[in-house]
Chain A
Amino acid sequence: MVTLAAEHISVVRAGRKLLDDVCVAFASPGATAIIGPNGAGKSTLLKTLAGLLAPTSGSVIVDGRTLDTIQAAHRAAMIGYMPQQFEPHWDIQLRDLVRISCERAVGSQGRRTPDDILAAHRIEALAEQRWSTLSGGERARALLSMVLAVDPPILLADEPAASLDPGYRLELLQKIAERGKAGICVTVMHDIDLAFRFFDQIVMLDAGRVVASGHARDVYERTVLDDAFGVNFVRSRKGELRLINPGFLRGEGPCRR
């Protein structure tokens, strides 16, 4: 089983400390949501884990090796990274996009044809369509099929589904979280409600530091959640840990720092 951990990662850009000594080991198998207020360093952490951003100090450990010693091609086959926004420069047909995505396969990795992959994601009908003609929901499905084309053991998704209709959003998050059953899934979530609904592990960042991590059930109860967001959440008891309703703003709100 694959492992993924961040060891004492700090990222400094233009004099700003975006991540400050972050240590996290991700459950394997497991689905983890990274939450935190805007500017907490969620996307920065995810990009660092994906190897797209070199940490100023510290290292990412994948399967016992530091990430920067792993060949780029192997990294690409192991880690699927789903960006927040994706817009190809050329108006490419979906089948070709998936074809490019398949080429990351290394060695024994199952080589499936683009059409197999499209069929597995039930978007085979869109194969001939160009990217510009796809709707938002179709694009989200298409992007996920691209990222998962080589069946990477690690999936890192950056605020997927943020701008989707509820139906598409739930469907997409479900598919993403399912990746945590057999491998590692780490997802930056803006919507805390959905984070607690779909992910069994939570890592919470605030101002570049990990302020809480562990099983969703435990993090859910902690007041650090309210402190970081500057909100008193009302924890719902309906069902299980389902809904967190923002209660009222406290102090001057989240900008108090």
Chain B
Amino acid sequence: MRIWLSLLAFVLCSVLVGVCAGHTWASPASVARALSGDSSLHSMLLLQWRFPRVVAAALVGALLGVAGTVFQGVFRNPLAEPYLLGSAGGAALGATIALLVPIGVPQAWLLPALAFLGAWGATLLVVGVSRAAGGLDIPTLLLSGVAVAAVLAALRSFLMLALSDETVSLQVVLSWVLGGMQTPSWNGVGLLLVVAVLAIFACFRLAPGLDKLGLGEQMAAAYGLRVTRFVVLAVLVGSAAVAASVTVGGLIGFVGLAAPHIARWSVGPMHRLVVPASAAIGSGVVTLADAIARSALPPAEIPLGLITALAGGPFFLLVLARSRRW
């Protein structure tokens, strides 16, 4: 129980820090004032710009946390991460198309739509290629993921070379790929909240199956799990969560890899506990990283993905070195 309270406290503190941090620091008192319906300009700015972004960051982190748990559970590999089966390449390709190809649809709609389609579509493609190439077993899925990711990356590079006539647009693409939170409207946050809650709930429902799968495929089958069907379902659910996170946050490295590990160290390896714990850890970490991204070099913003990798990598290695193997 204590561990859950501390996880909750971690998320709440991160959100509070996130709301206070920015290129101007807002005191907790002024945050409270803004929340209580104050109509000063400062409060309105906080309410319309900072709050929604912090909530979005928290949700994106939670999505990455659960997706990472699902992928590590399915592939039973500690190196598995949410972008394993092509989500990242697909999302980046979709975003590149949205940013560089003149289609005539407002970019505010096109970018998230294509990023989502790219992320999820890439995983569907990987599953399809894997099935055509021999089967839906884990090694074939992984190899198909590598092949599809390579093709998608090549396509993206080609588009970037062929379509950008000015360096500005290239920079836009690069900064998206490096990860950074969009500032959504409250309506956007509402939509994200619904999607995130659904995705997290779906991942939570996968937990008993992931626990069985952790006993080995043969034992899982003997325990009544239809392994192939479950693996495909889990991969698609996990990728949908990643796609939702990519749509709002771009490619944020490392969180989906590290959050499940930290979750396992705190609540043990049972997936029904790891899923919520990893959601909380991912949520807090991304919120904090986003706070740093916004406030470290005002008025510029550091790409969020750089911060998570830069700070997360060494921290993760440290924890890894000091803890036992899972």
**Taking beta carbons and an 8 Å cutoff, which residues of A are in contact with B?**
50-52, 71-77, 79-81, 83, 86-93, 96-97, 100-101, 103-104
From B97-105, B212-220, B289-297, the one touching the partner chain is B212-220
Judging by beta carbons under 8 Å apart, are B222 and A91 in contact? no
Known: A74-B224, A90-B76, A100-B208. 12 other contacts (CB 8 A): A50-B222, A51-B221, A52-B221, A81-B219, A83-B216, A83-B222, A86-B215, A88-B215, A91-B269, A100-B211, A100-B212, A103-B208
Whether B219 and A83, one on each chain, are in contact in the complex, defined by CB atoms closer than 8 angstroms, is: yes
Cβ-based interface call for B325 (8 A)? yes
In the bound complex, what is the Cα–Cα distance between A93 and B226 (angstroms)? 24
Measured CB to CB, the closest approach of chain A to B144, in angstroms, equals 22
Instruction: Give the contact-size bracket for chain B.
Output: 20 to 34
Chain A: CB-nearest residue to B212 = A100
Query: Roughly how many angstroms separate A166 CA and B278 CA in the complex, as a whole number?
Result: 45
Query: In the complex, are the beta carbons of B270 and A89 less than 8 A apart?
Result: no
Q: Which residues of B contact A50 (CB under 8 A)?
A: 222
A76 to B268, CA, bound (A): 26
A89 touches B224 (CB 8 A): no
Q: List 6 A-B contacts (CB under 8 A).
A: A72-B224, A72-B226, A74-B224, A75-B224, A77-B224, A96-B268
B225 within 8 A of A: yes
Chain B positions 216 through 237: 1 when the CB is less than 8 Å from some CB of chain A, otherwise 0: 1011011111100000000000
Are A92 and B218 within 8 A (Cβ)?
Answer: no
Cα–Cα, bound, A234→B325 (Å) = 51
Q: Which of A86, A90, A93 has the most CB of B within 10 A?
A: A90
Q: Give the residues in chain A near B219, CB-CB below 8 Å.
A: 81, 83, 86
Is B158's CB within 8 Å of the partner chain A?
no
User: Do B223 and A86 have beta carbons less than 8 Å apart?
Assistant: no
The answer to whether A76 touches B214, judged by C-beta atoms less than 8 angstroms apart, is no
Q: How far is the CB of B73 from chain A (nearest CB, A)?
A: 9
Shortest CB distance B44–A (Å): 49
> Does B326 touch A at the CB level, under 8 Å?
yes
Among B151-194, those with CB < 8 Å from A are none
Hey, what's the 0/1 contact readout for B265-279 against A, CB within 8 Å counting as 1? 000111000000000
- Complex formed: what's the CA distance from A58 to B269 in Å? 41
Return the chain B residue nearest A106 by Cβ: B224
Q: Mark B289-326, 1 if CB is under 8 A from A, else 0.
A: 00000000000000000000000000000000000111
Q: A81 to chain B: which residues have CB within 8 Å?
A: 219, 222
Name the contact of A96 in the complex, choosing from B76, B224, B270 (C-beta under 8 A).
Answer: B270
Tell me the bound Cα distance from A100 to B214 in angstroms: 10
User: In whole angstroms, how far apart are the Cα atoms of A83 and B325 in the complex?
Assistant: 25
B residues in contact with A75, CB < 8 Å: 224
Q: Do the beta carbons of A101 and B268 come within 8 Å of each other?
A: no
